[in-house]
Amino acid sequence: MRLSISLAVVALGLGAAPAFAADGKQLFMDNCSACHQETGKGIPGAFPPLAGSKVALGDPKEPVTRVLKGRGGMPSFATELTDLEVAQVLTYVRGAWGNKGKPVQPALVMALRTGAKRENAKASLLAH
């Protein structure tokens, strides 16, 4: 697993970001588009937009943590997506629909995953 993540990091450093984001597009379509829509505009009052989102485009730790832990009505993807896949889907989101965020590195996802257990799911549901 670490080898594949290391290779992905090396590939990103060698200019493979467009292919990395293309893989993220398919992951987005398979896992996220039902709620956030193919357009990234979400569903008003139900699912937030990702196009132009301050959370999606800000410090990458926040969207990584949300994908891993879930939040409110959003499920955790910690057991469904690998570190590489989380980085790929978020890299796609940060570069799609006019967004201009930097790629997310798999190493960051790996570092945050260790603390990604949803400690109080009921409290997060009440927050929304």
Split at pLDDT 50, 70, 90, the class of 4 is very low
pLDDT number for residue 116: 53
Distance CA 6, CA 56 (A): 24
> Are the C-beta atoms of residues 5 and 83 closer than 8 Å to each other?
yes
Distance CA 93, CA 113 (A): 19
**Domains recognised in the chain with CATH numbers:** 2-126 (1.10.760.10)
pLDDT number for residue 84: 97
pLDDT number for residue 8: 45
For residue 125, pLDDT over 80 is answered with no
For residue 12, pLDDT over 60 is answered with no
Split at pLDDT 50, 70, 90, the class of 128 is very low
Split at pLDDT 50, 70, 90, the class of 117 is low
For residue 86, pLDDT over 70 is answered with yes
Q: Which residues pair with 74 in a beta bridge?
A: 71
What is the sign, positive or negative, of the torsion defined by CA atoms of 38, 40, 42, 47? positive
DSSP 43-110: BTTTB---TT-HHHHS-THHHHHHHHH-BTTBPP-TTTS-HHHHHHHHHHHHHSTT--PPPPPHHHHH
Give the residue, 105 or 15, on which the prediction is more confident: 105
Split at pLDDT 50, 70, 90, the class of 123 is very low
* Exposure string for 107-127, b = 16+ CB within 10 A, e = fewer: ebbbebbeebeeeeeeebeee
Q: Mean pLDDT, to the nearest integer, of 58-71?
A: 96
